[in-house]
């Protein structure tokens, strides 16, 4: 067995690999860029080597820097994680020449499966069902339109070397095909240095279901059931689960056997994933094979009990796979939510900055957190905005989902925006509860985007009771500190208050009860609330009428900001006199910024498509901003005249920086 391995990656996946390696008694080496010098994976490693500037193409993607780190530390093997060099055949060659083991498949599989066109041809030869399409090189836009017309719209345009949703477009007509081909080609060149794009039939009402495989160097291969990855936004997965709520045992077996057949066809060795698209009738078609560990691998680990990273290391060491197909169980249900630093209320734009407060839920047999961040750490603009992967387990899908919702309530993050409200909203949809999933789920359920009104609003009385409990504790504490307990403000006194809950007003009476809690009478109901909450704690755990709940608490100058089940409320508790005076407070209107195009995210201004004095029609392109390797086209929302351009193409943008100013409406 290896004495020391190097993890050629960063973030949560680097931390994840280190945990398995160190559990096996193997020392670990971290590599880090300038931006990651204080990162969690660096702190966890036995050794760490600096490999360059923050930009990944000057650090994590530079093979020479990784090889130099190997020489410095004497690492015998390299685990590439996912992304960066994980599917780079040249990196495999470089390690092979250096006498270092690559913890992953052989070069043949990396090359063959890394090219979507070649992988599709190989899949067909291996007897794997594939989607109808055109796999030759597409010469230009006109050629793309010609091919799409023959296949029949809708079609999917994909970068041959693509992944992660980059270089991918869906076209329903000729105009969309032309624009999609140009954008897919541009993103493919920018992200992968390979502009080849292919076209295939777009399957409507599709599910994205993938099969996890493990294969060793001795010809043994098994599949570890499936993962449902249909909840996606812009082709990037958001929520994954295992098993799928859709597949029958017969379909599962057929998909698994085809996945194993493909793995054997390319002499696969290590953990890999065969992705399929599945229609409403359970017909399935090969999409691609990822020759690496997947982001969503934890859900497979939770239902099978198999440590995939551990087996990757064992297989690279030459050990024989001892798992037998008939011995791989489906034990319960597992679900993963990708917690991203992004603002779902601003079209999911990346949010960068320091994690001023960070408290993940407590891990247990039913809750797992894979993360590479910590309180005080920073979410950098240079890398993927993932904060963590939150994984829960339950005996069935319903219990697993409830465990996930509870864990999301307990995930306290401040300093950057996050998508927890959105995750809660998705899992509260009846369609999600019913397991009626497709890759179009988010687009269909939120066709006009996502805003705060779409977060399920629970009965406000519970949060009113929470605010009253905290206010009562504050008043009693203030009374005790000032020595006025004999002045009538002790625990046994009833109090009448007015509670302002966002735009609603409630009259409440708060009384102590025999359980050391309080009875809160509000809106015709009495809520019995008990809690051991103490001042300063950001999480308020309470029992309300026998139901346990967790509420996130932020103290405001007046009142509290409460966050529960994805919904946020501003709650103020005051006397009737204070409430009457509050009604007289003047309202300060926010500044009018409608005459400006502001940058919605930190990023690079790739191009500006307009000039000063130009008349622009609604829907026309204004500029293109690149953030996290994705191109975002900014379009005019109405007919405007360009007054001034404040930013130049090629420049960096910060959030809310002025880009373009419009003439004021007459």
Rounded to an integer, what distance in angstroms lies between the CA atom of residue 26 and that of residue 47? 12
Nearest to 508 by CA among 459, 553, 466: 466
What pLDDT, on the 0 to 100 scale, is given for residue 629? 64
Average pLDDT, the chain: 92
Q: Give me the residues paired with residue 334 across strands.
A: 242, 393
Compute the distance between CA of residue 187 and CA of residue 523 in angstroms, rounded to an integer: 55
The percentage of residues in the chain with a pLDDT greater than 70, rounded to a whole number, is 97
What does pTM read for this prediction?
Answer: 0.84
> pLDDT tens digits, residue range 357-382?
999 999 999 999 999 999 999 998 88
What is the number of other CB atoms lying within 10 angstroms of the CB of residue 601? 26
Round to whole Å and give the CA distance between 171 and 453. 31
Q: Say yes or no: do domains 4-103 and 207-331 share a fold.
A: no
Q: Which of 106, 288, 342, 657 is catalytic?
A: 288
> pLDDT tens digit string along 309-348?
999 999 999 999 999 999 999 999 999 999 999 999 988 8
Lowest mean pLDDT segment, chosen from 182-196, 459-473, 507-521: 182-196
**Residue 560, token pair as written in the block:** 């509290």
Q: Which fold has domain 596-662?
A: OB fold (Dihydrolipoamide Acetyltransferase, E2P) (2.40.50)
How open is the CA angle 582-587-588, to the nearest 5 degrees?
140
164: confidence class by pLDDT, cuts 50, 70, 90: low
The span from the CA of 295 to the CA of 261, in Å, is 23
Please report which confidence band the pLDDT of residue 489 belongs to, taking 50, 70 and 90 as the band edges.
very low
How many percent of the chain have pLDDT more than 90? 76
Q: Classify 333-447 by CATH class.
A: alpha beta
CATH of 132-201, one of 3.40.640.10, 3.40.50.2000, 3.30.429.10, 3.30.1490.20: 3.30.1490.20
Helix (H, G, I), strand (E, B) or coil at 125: helix
Predicted confidence band of residue 666 (pLDDT cuts 50, 70, 90): low
pLDDT value for 429: 96
In CATH terms, the fold of domain 461-582 is: Glycoprotein, Type 4 Pilin (3.30.700)
Residue 543: name the closest of 535, 554, 534, 551 by CA. 551
Whole-number Å distance between alpha carbons of 307 and 312 = 9
The pLDDT of residue 557 is above 70: yes
Residues 213-236 pLDDT 10s: 999 999 999 999 999 999 999 889
Q: Is 240 labeled as catalytic in the residue annotation?
A: no
| Residue scoring higher pLDDT (589 or 468) | 468
Determine contact, residues 573/468, Cβ cutoff 8 Å.
Answer: yes
The whole-angstrom distance between residue 168's C-alpha and the CA centroid of its chain comes to: 18
CATH number of 207-331: 3.30.470.20
Q: Region 501-529: what's the mean pLDDT? A: 92
Q: Please give the structure tokens belonging to residue 333.
A: 């249900």
Residue 77, CA distances (Å) to 11, 20, 96 in order: 19, 14, 10
Question: What are the structural domain ranges in the chain?
Answer: 4-103, 132-201, 207-331, 333-447, 461-582, 596-662
Domain 4-103 CATH (choose: 3.40.50.1000, 3.40.50.300, 3.40.50.20, 3.70.10.10) = 3.40.50.20
* CB atoms near residue 275 (< 10 Å): 18
Rounded Cα–Cα distance for residues 80 and 103 (Å): 7
């Amino acid at each position: 067995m290896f004495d020391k391995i190097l993890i050629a990656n960063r973030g949560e996946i680097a931390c994840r690999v280190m945990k398995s390696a160190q559990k096996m008694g193997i020392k670990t080496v971290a590599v880090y860029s300038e931006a990651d010098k204080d990162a969690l994976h660096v702190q966890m490693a036995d050794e760490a080597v600096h490999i360059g500037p923050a930009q990944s193409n000057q650090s994590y993607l530079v093979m020479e820097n990784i090889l130099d780190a190997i020489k410095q530390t004497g690492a015998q093997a390299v685990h590439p994680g996912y992304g960066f060099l994980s599917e780079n055949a040249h990196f495999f060659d470089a390690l092979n020449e250096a006498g270092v083991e690559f913890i992953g498949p052989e070069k043949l599989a990396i090359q063959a499966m890394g090219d979507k066109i070649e992988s599709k041809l190989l899949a067909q030869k291996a007897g794997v069902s594939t989607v109808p399409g055109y796999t030759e090189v597409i010469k230009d836009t006109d050629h793309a339109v010609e091919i799409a017309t023959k296949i029949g719209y809708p079609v999917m345009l994909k970068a041959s070397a693509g992944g992660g949703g980059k270089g991918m477009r869906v076209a329903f007509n000729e105009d969309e095909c032309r624009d999609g081909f140009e954008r897919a080609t541009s993103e493919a060149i920018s992200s992968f240095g390979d502009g080849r794009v292919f076209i295939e039939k777009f399957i409507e009402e599709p599910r994205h279901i993938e099969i996890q495989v493990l294969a060793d160097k001795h010809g043994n291969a098994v599949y570890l059931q499936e993962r449902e990855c249909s909840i996606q936004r812009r082709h990037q997965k958001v929520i994954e689960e295992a098993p799928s709520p859709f597949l029958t045992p017969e379909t599962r077996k057929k998909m698994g056997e085809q996945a194993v057949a493909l793995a054997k066809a390319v002499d696969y060795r290590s953990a890999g994933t065969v992705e399929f698209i599945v229609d409403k009738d359970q017909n399935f078609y090969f999409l691609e094979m990822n020759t690496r560990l997947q982001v969503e691998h934890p859900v497979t680990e939770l239902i099978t009990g198999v440590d995939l990273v551990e087996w990757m290391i064992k297989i690279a060491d030459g050990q024989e796979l001892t798992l037998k197909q008939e011995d791989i169980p489906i034990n319960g249900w597992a679900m993963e939510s990708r917690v991203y630093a992004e603002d779902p209320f601003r079209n999911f734009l990346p949010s960068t900055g320091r994690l001023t407060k960070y408290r993940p839920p407590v891990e247990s047999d039913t809750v797992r957190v894979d993360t590479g961040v910590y309180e005080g750490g920073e979410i950098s603009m240079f890398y993927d905005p993932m904060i963590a992967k939150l994984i829960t387990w339950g005996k069935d899908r319903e219990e697993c989902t409830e465990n996930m919702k509870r864990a999301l309530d307990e995930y306290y993050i401040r300093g950057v925006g996050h998508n927890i409200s959105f995750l809660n909203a998705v899992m509260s949809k009846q369609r999600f509860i019913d397991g009626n999933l497709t890759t179009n789920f988010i687009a269909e359920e939120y066709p006009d985007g996502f805003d705060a009104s779409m977060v399920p609003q629970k009965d406000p009385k519970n949060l009113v009771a929470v605010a009253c409990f905290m206010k009562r504790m504050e008043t009693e504490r203030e009374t005790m500190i000032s020595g006025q307990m004999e002045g009538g403000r002790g625990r046994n006194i009833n109090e009448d208050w007015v509670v302002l809950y966002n735009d609603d007003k409630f009259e409440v009476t708060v009384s102590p009860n025999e359980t050391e809690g309080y009875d809160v009478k509000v809106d015709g109901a009495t809520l019995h609330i008990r809690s051991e909450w103490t001042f300063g704690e950001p999480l308020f755990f309470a029992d309300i009428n026998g139901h346990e709940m967790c509420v996130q608490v932020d103290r405001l100058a007046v009142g509290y900001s409460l966050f529960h089940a994805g919904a946020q409320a501003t709650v103020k508790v005051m006397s009737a006199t204070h409430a009457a005076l509050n009604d007289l407070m003047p309202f300060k209107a926010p500044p009018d910024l409608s005459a400006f195009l502001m940058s919605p995210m930190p990023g690079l201004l790739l191009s500006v498509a307009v000039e000063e004095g130009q008349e622009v029609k609604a829907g026309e392109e204004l500029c293109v901003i690149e953030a996290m390797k994705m191109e975002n086209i900014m379009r005019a929302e109405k007919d405007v005249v360009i007054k001034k351009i404040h930013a130049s193409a090629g420049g960096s943008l910060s959030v809310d920086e002025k880009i373009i100013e419009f003439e004021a409406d007459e």
